[in-house]
Chains A and B, each alone.
Chain A
């Protein structure tokens, strides 16, 4: 098991050094390449007609923010970067930054919006997050893989709509638009996969 799947249950975890292979790749894992910490932003298996399998990977340097595309051979191994996680909650974002509060110290701390914009669309005020520290410096955040959000706006469904489409677009309380089955109504809570941005299931009926 890789450490950063769900560290949400502890305030602070120091992680031992692991060697991980390409088959352990997950979005959010941080690996060491030439002693720099690179977070996996995206990855895709590719298997050319004649040749081994490869993983085409998009990485972000956690120190410099630089993006890099790199292809690894399946099975290549990497040293995992020692990270610290601190539990926090999301407060708000302005035009430049997203602001969080550390659970333990109540200290407020911010990250630039370009690092957080893909994630805050799944967060509402008070949502729990893991703040990632490298060498004592706040570098990134992890959000849960599944979040529950309320449907804020939904187009009314009229009779006979089933012949048209099985899905409709709704707006969630965070402003995010997602496709959901037509039986979902305004005010209902639904579960969203934050890796794919897709609807998973209905959580409750109101």
Chain B
């Protein structure tokens, strides 16, 4: 099948998508500039990649001018670097960068290389970031589609502010009748599931806590979310929030939120965890889980821990997939029709 540049050659109308993408990115920059954010550029080639057990970074090996060998990774997110900058004293920063993830699909809403925007506010929290997010998307849709409504794949989505917000706990109660308060460990979670006729087939003996959570989420929660409005789901249980701050000292929930529009997971945000000891412990836990899953052990970014020890201000931060945002705004279903050079066309030649 034809590659995208060839399709444009035959059909110059397709240029419009690329022109609009460029415009969206300019508008994003204008939006944050107006709010006093500084655009920064951090490294995409790093020594310590993200620890998250279920995100696989890409390895890179290279040499310096004396042929000394180095091993590094391409970033899965610029998070660690940006937080170091918060410690350094920058207060409102954003970065638009390419990130890379292995084990992703080639198409749909995934591509192994994609563009992410992350922004952080020092002396702030996730509530402020929620506001930024809904205002950003509304602003872009006004400029691009001239409307408060977004039409995506024949669905009409009302973007009027403020967007509906729902805690994860309430979502589980509402759509599955599961009380997450009673599911704080694997044993109790399984016990609750067994009581529920609609769920008990879903769970396998080998599933860990997060597996069960995700299965219910994908199978029961996501399909039930309102389709005509964006939704902000917030306050995730701790096992689902490795870099987020706890709600309070003994809470089972952490200040994390996700934004869904038309069933697409658009962004993920936290009130950032700033306690170096707790961060180190969570990293260790994730490293152990990686070991258990027989995945590559990634060194803990000691610089990042050192930065937290110097004291990071309480902050809110978010990662938002720009390609997905562009797909929503331009009503494109498959990322392979959005990107100029999708991995599928580069690597999957049949």
Q: Which residues of A contact B (CB under 8 A)?
A: 34, 44-54, 56, 69-71, 73, 76, 162-167, 181-182, 198-200
Instruction: Report chain A residues within 8 Å CB of B204.
Output: 73, 76
By the criterion CB–CB under 8 Å, are A48 and B202 in contact? no
By the criterion CB–CB under 8 Å, are B265 and A49 in contact? yes
By the criterion CB–CB under 8 Å, are B219 and A69 in contact? yes
Residue of A nearest to B105 (CB): A45
By the criterion CB–CB under 8 Å, are A70 and B110 in contact? no
Distance to closest chain A CB from B229 (angstroms): 20
Instruction: Report chain A residues within 8 Å CB of B218.
Output: 46, 48, 54, 56, 71
- Assess A71 versus B54: contact at CB under 8 Å? Given A49-B258, A49-B268, A54-B214: no
Instruction: Report chain A residues within 8 Å CB of B213.
Output: 51
Residue of B nearest to A52 (CB): B54
Q: Fill in one digit per residue for B199-243: 1 if any A CB lies within 8 Å of its CB, else 0.
A: 001101001001101110111000000000000000010001110
Instruction: Report chain B residues within 8 Å CB of A76.
Output: 204
Cα separation A18 to B342 with both chains bound (whole Å) = 35
Distance to closest chain A CB from B99 (angstroms): 13
By the criterion CB–CB under 8 Å, are B242 and A166 in contact? no
The verdict on B2 contacting chain A, using a C-beta distance below 8 Å, is yes
- From B8-16, B66-74, B172-180, B272-280, the one touching the partner chain is B8-16
Partner of B201, one of A34, A54, A163: A34
Instruction: Report chain A residues within 8 Å CB of B2.
Output: 166, 181
Residue of A nearest to B256 (CB): A50
Instruction: Report chain B residues within 8 Å CB of A45.
Output: 105, 108, 110
By the criterion CB–CB under 8 Å, are A52 and B12 in contact? no
Instruction: Report chain A residues within 8 Å CB of B54.
Output: 47, 50-53
Residue of B nearest to A44 (CB): B108
By the criterion CB–CB under 8 Å, are B242 and A50 in contact? yes
Cα separation A73 to B236 with both chains bound (whole Å) = 20
By the criterion CB–CB under 8 Å, are A50 and B211 in contact? no
Instruction: Report chain B residues within 8 Å CB of A46.
Output: 218
Cα separation A46 to B7 with both chains bound (whole Å) = 28
Cα separation A1 to B30 with both chains bound (whole Å) = 53
Distance to closest chain A CB from B318 (angstroms): 11
By the criterion CB–CB under 8 Å, are B11 and A48 in contact? no
Residue of B nearest to A162 (CB): B10
Instruction: Report chain A residues within 8 Å CB of B10.
Output: 162, 165-166, 181-182
The verdict on B104 contacting chain A, using a C-beta distance below 8 Å, is yes
Cα separation A11 to B52 with both chains bound (whole Å) = 50
Instruction: Report chain B residues within 8 Å CB of A200.
Output: 1
Cα separation A200 to B1 with both chains bound (whole Å) = 7
Per the 8 Å Cβ criterion, residues 248-271 of B in contact with A are: 258, 265, 268
Q: Which residues of B contact A (CB under 8 A)?
A: 1-2, 7, 10-13, 52, 54, 103-105, 108, 110, 201-202, 204, 207, 210-211, 213-215, 217-219, 236, 240-242, 258, 265, 268
Cα separation A165 to B11 with both chains bound (whole Å) = 5
Cα separation A163 to B110 with both chains bound (whole Å) = 31
Instruction: Report chain A residues within 8 Å CB of B202.
Output: 70-71
Instruction: Report chain B residues within 8 Å CB of A73.
Output: 204, 207, 211, 214-215
By the criterion CB–CB under 8 Å, are B52 and A50 in contact? yes
By the criterion CB–CB under 8 Å, are A51 and B240 in contact? yes
Instruction: Report chain A residues within 8 Å CB of B258.
Output: 49
Instruction: Report chain B residues within 8 Å CB of A44.
Output: 108
By the criterion CB–CB under 8 Å, are B52 and A164 in contact? no
Instruction: Report chain A residues within 8 Å CB of B210.
Output: 50-52
Cα separation A56 to B214 with both chains bound (whole Å) = 11
Instruction: Report chain A residues within 8 Å CB of B1.
Output: 198-200
Cα separation A54 to B54 with both chains bound (whole Å) = 11
Partner of A70, one of B13, B214, B217, B219: B219
Cα separation A32 to B210 with both chains bound (whole Å) = 25
- Assess A50 versus B241: contact at CB under 8 Å? Given A162-B10, A163-B12, A165-B13: yes
By the criterion CB–CB under 8 Å, are B52 and A47 in contact? no
A-B contact pairs, 5 of them (CB 8 A): A50-B52, A50-B236, A52-B214, A166-B11, A199-B1
Cα separation A76 to B202 with both chains bound (whole Å) = 12
Cα separation A82 to B173 with both chains bound (whole Å) = 40
By the criterion CB–CB under 8 Å, are A71 and B215 in contact? yes
By the criterion CB–CB under 8 Å, are A53 and B215 in contact? no
Distance to closest chain A CB from B215 (angstroms): 5
Instruction: Report chain A residues within 8 Å CB of B236.
Output: 50
Cα separation A61 to B201 with both chains bound (whole Å) = 15
Instruction: Report chain B residues within 8 Å CB of A34.
Output: 201
By the criterion CB–CB under 8 Å, are A48 and B214 in contact? yes
Cα separation A52 to B214 with both chains bound (whole Å) = 8
Partner of A166, one of B7, B52, B103, B219: B7
Instruction: Report chain A residues within 8 Å CB of B110.
Output: 45, 47
Cα separation A166 to B12 with both chains bound (whole Å) = 9
Instruction: Report chain B residues within 8 Å CB of A198.
Output: 1
